[in-house]
């Protein structure tokens, strides 16, 4: 749906302290592991019998990916009464994208994005993935 400059939807900051506090527990329950924390506490190595597990020094999501996940979770919380769409995948991680789908975030696959965007209403919310979107899609208002 194209709109001129005076019809543009307002942008909303979903990262308010109140929202992020609600989001943090949910994100941690999905992506934090007691086993990983145990290995980290032991300097990145855990030996069980004759098997040694070594955790990569930089294991986990980078800041940008963590932020993208937080924003997607926050958008779902802030706009709990609206349809929330995601252009493709928030990141290239099947588990993260599955969790978002279970939360009711509707992923718009490549090849269907332009047609789907054209049907959105002013009440619909669209999340742009961490790695961006094509310029032609971002011109839709």
In terms of residue numbers, what domain contains 16?
12-138
Residue 120, in any domain of the structure: yes
pLDDT at residue 125 above 50?
yes
Indicate the pTM of the whole model: 0.75
Q: Domain holding 42: CATH number?
A: 3.40.50.11270
Q: Which long-range contacts (CB under 8 A, 24 or more apart) does 116-123 make?
A: 116/85, 117/1, 118/1, 119/1, 120/1, 120/85, 121/1, 122/1, 122/9, 123/82, 123/83
Residue 43, in any domain of the structure: yes
Helix, strand or coil for residue 108?
strand
User: What integer pLDDT is reported at residue 91 of this predicted model?
Assistant: 84
Residue 1, in any domain of the structure: no
Residue 102, in any domain of the structure: yes
CA distance 125 to 29: 25
Residue 90, in any domain of the structure: yes
Residue 7, in any domain of the structure: no
Residue 6, in any domain of the structure: no
Model pLDDT for residues 5-58, shown as the tens digit of each residue:
444 556 777 888 888 888 888 888 888 888 888 999 999 999 999 999 999 988
User: What integer pLDDT is reported at residue 9 of this predicted model?
Assistant: 53
Model pLDDT for residues 48-107, shown as the tens digit of each residue:
999 999 999 888 888 888 888 999 999 999 999 999 999 888 888 888 889 999 999 999
Residue 114, in any domain of the structure: yes
Q: Averaged over 99-119, what is the pLDDT?
A: 90
Domain count, the chain: 1
- Measured CA distances, 99 to 47, 71, 89, 90 (Å): 31, 14, 11, 11
SS (H, E, C) 57-70: CCCCCCHHHHHHHH
């Amino acid at each position: 749906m194209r709109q001129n400059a005076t019809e543009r939807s307002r942008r909303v900051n979903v990262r308010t302290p109140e929202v992020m506090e609600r989001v943090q527990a949910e994100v941690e329950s999905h992506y934090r592991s007691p086993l990983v924390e145990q290995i980290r506490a032991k300097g990145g190595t855990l030996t069980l019998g004759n098997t040694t597990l070594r955790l990569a020094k930089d294991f986990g999501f980078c800041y940008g990916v963590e932020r993208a996940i937080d924003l997607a979770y926050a958008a779902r919380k802030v706009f709990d009464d609206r349809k929330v769409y995601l252009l493709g995948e928030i990141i290239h991680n099947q588990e993260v994208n599955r969790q978002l789908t279970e939360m009711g975030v509707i992923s718009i696959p490549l090849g269907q994005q332009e047609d789907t965007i054209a049907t959105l209403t002013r009440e619909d919310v669209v999340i742009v993935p961490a790695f961006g979107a094509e310029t032609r899609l971002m011109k839709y208002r």
